[in-house]
Amino acid sequence: MSSLTIRAYPDPVLKGECAPVETITDEVRRLLDDMAETMYLNSGIGLAAPQVGERSRLIVVDAQRGEEGDTLLKLVNPRIVEKQGETKSEEGCLSCPDLLVEVNRFESVTVEALLPDGKETTIEAEGLLAICLQHEIDHLDGVLLVDRLSSLRRTLYHKKRVKEDAKPADEGDESRRTNTAL
């Protein structure tokens, strides 16, 4: 496994819809493993393929990190098939450094996806896992936390990020570690 570089806003790879995975090859499985390693290294609880520069419908999620049991999910072509209730969540994103946004989410969701071995799976999620799945599936449709800001806040954040991008990478790193989650 190897860790990958996380792409940050306004990298264009984060915009637009990702393509469904047609065949789960060894390359796809390797990418999922690398995404999981990258997520853990960056103290995240979820990561979507476009965040590492790949426009494929792949996500990894581990909402129980640090607790017992193997709770890592590696999902191919995940889609929400049922949703219930409403909740608000304050979310950060590994691709949107220094940003916390209150987002309206469904309280519980049912997600259908393929596992790395090609088997179908159905996940009935609530709480943090449900929020995490919704956030990552948003990424696959090119939706970022930035898109949920008012136009004024979005403009300010955009200016700040463009300035940060111009700095050498190591200067941005420390701030990138705060508020990161998904």
Give me the active site residues, please.
136
How many of the other CB atoms lie within 10 Å of CB of 110?
Answer: 16
Cα(164)–Cα(110) distance, integer angstroms: 38
What is the nearest approach in angstroms of Zn ion to the Cβ of residue 182? Answer: 4
Which range of residues in 29-37, 60-68, 90-98, 103-111 is near Zn ion by CB under 5 A? 90-98
Which range of residues in 9-17, 88-96, 114-122, 171-179 is near Zn ion by CB under 5 A? 88-96
Residue 101 lies near Zn ion (rule: CB under 5 A): no
Q: Which residue, 9 or 76, is less far from Zn ion as judged by CB?
A: 9
What is the nearest approach in angstroms of Zn ion to the Cβ of residue 138? Answer: 8
Q: Which residue, 93 or 109, is less far from Zn ion as judged by CB?
A: 93
Residue 74: which of 107, 110, 121 has the closest Cα?
Answer: 121
Among 93, 114, 129, 146, binds Zn ion (CB under 5 A): 93
Q: Which residue, 28 or 61, is less far from Zn ion as judged by CB?
A: 61
Separation of CA 70 from chain center: 19
- CB contact burial 75-91 (16+ within 10 A = b; e otherwise): bbbbeeeeeeeeeebeb
Which range of residues in 3-11, 28-36, 91-99, 121-129 is near Zn ion by CB under 5 A? 91-99
Residue 60 lies near Zn ion (rule: CB under 5 A): no
Cα(39)–Cα(42) distance, integer angstroms: 5
Residue 182 lies near Zn ion (rule: CB under 5 A): yes
What is the nearest approach in angstroms of Zn ion to the Cβ of residue 124? Answer: 22
Report which DSSP code applies to 62: -
How many of the other CB atoms lie within 10 Å of CB of 48?
Answer: 30
CA angle 179, 42, 154 (to 5 degrees): 40
Judged by DSSP in three states, 87 sits in strand
What is the nearest approach in angstroms of Zn ion to the Cβ of residue 142? Answer: 12
What is the nearest approach in angstroms of Zn ion to the Cβ of residue 27? Answer: 23
How many of the other CB atoms lie within 10 Å of CB of 6?
Answer: 21
Residues that bind Zn ion (CB under 5 A): 93, 182
